[in-house]
Amino acid sequence: MNMDLIALDMDGTLLNPEGKIDPAVHDAVQQAKRAGIKVVLCTGRPLPGVTPYLEQLGLTDNGDYVITYNGALVQRSHSGDILAHHTMNHQDFLTVSDLAEKAGVHFQAINDQGIFTPNKNISYYTVRESFIVNLPLRYRAVHEIDPEMTFSKMMMIDPPELIDAALDRLPRDLSDRYTVLRSEPFFLEVLNKRASKGQALKVLTEILGFSRERVMAVGDNENDIDMIAYAGLGVAMDNAVDKVKEVSDHITLSNLEHGVAQAIYDFAL
């Protein structure tokens, strides 16, 4: 099947369990590029956590794009020009941080200035995230947050059993006001209602004038579900959670077995 665009999740999909791009995956992406296919990384990470991989794959040319913050931000990877950005404001910060405190879990909010947490006892997962996405970590009490500041996403972060318990304590209408998704067992993300990978992929597809039938999306976790559902061809990694496999058209090999390369060769080239 001919494809115009391939949207690739990063963690658990493009990257192997060591957080690296295997040579086989790199080569497959290069072949897709040479065939004239747009390859777009579509990730929950902010841009600083994506840039080294964009450079490694040669996806920083004029005409290349990237989707970050789980779909809150769509931009040109060459120039940084923004095509769509759905942010959250100070009131959202107050609301979600209060809900996290009542649910008994750690909280962080992220923008291009850093990762902001009001928790004096900073979560291990917040420190880990700071290193992975290459953003500074900033402790700020709630009253110290600049009211004019906006955020691309907010997160409740803790061991999976605490996140599971927090889900039972959160208001049932939270998902009516925000996009709420589980990107990792230890991450519960809260975004602007207009932000998700699927919505961002739709925006980019329409800007480029492509048909969704000629779009392939590959992912592994719950934050990839609406992206995979939107694409004309949705592919789940073998290591994907069951919910992703249920909405996918095909299942490729795991990220330990170069599954992205296999999907590109099988369905795009």
Catalytically annotated residues: 9
For 42, the enclosing helix (H) or strand (E) is strand 38-42
Phi (first) and psi of residue 182, to 5 degrees: -105, 105
Contacts of 141 (CB under 8 A, 6+ apart): 118
The maximal CA–CA distance of the chain, rounded, in angstroms, is: 54
Closest CA to 14 of 62, 73, 67: 67
Contacts of 200 (CB under 8 A, 6+ apart): 42, 67, 71, 72, 73, 74, 84, 227
* Cα(99)–Cα(87) distance, integer angstroms: 19
* Cα(259)–Cα(265) distance, integer angstroms: 10
Phi (first) and psi of residue 107, to 5 degrees: -140, 145
3-state secondary structure of 69: helix
3-state secondary structure of 234: strand
Are the CB atoms for 119 and 137 separated by under 8 Å? no
Token representation of residue 178:
């925000």
* Cα(249)–Cα(234) distance, integer angstroms: 5
Phi (first) and psi of residue 251, to 5 degrees: -120, 125
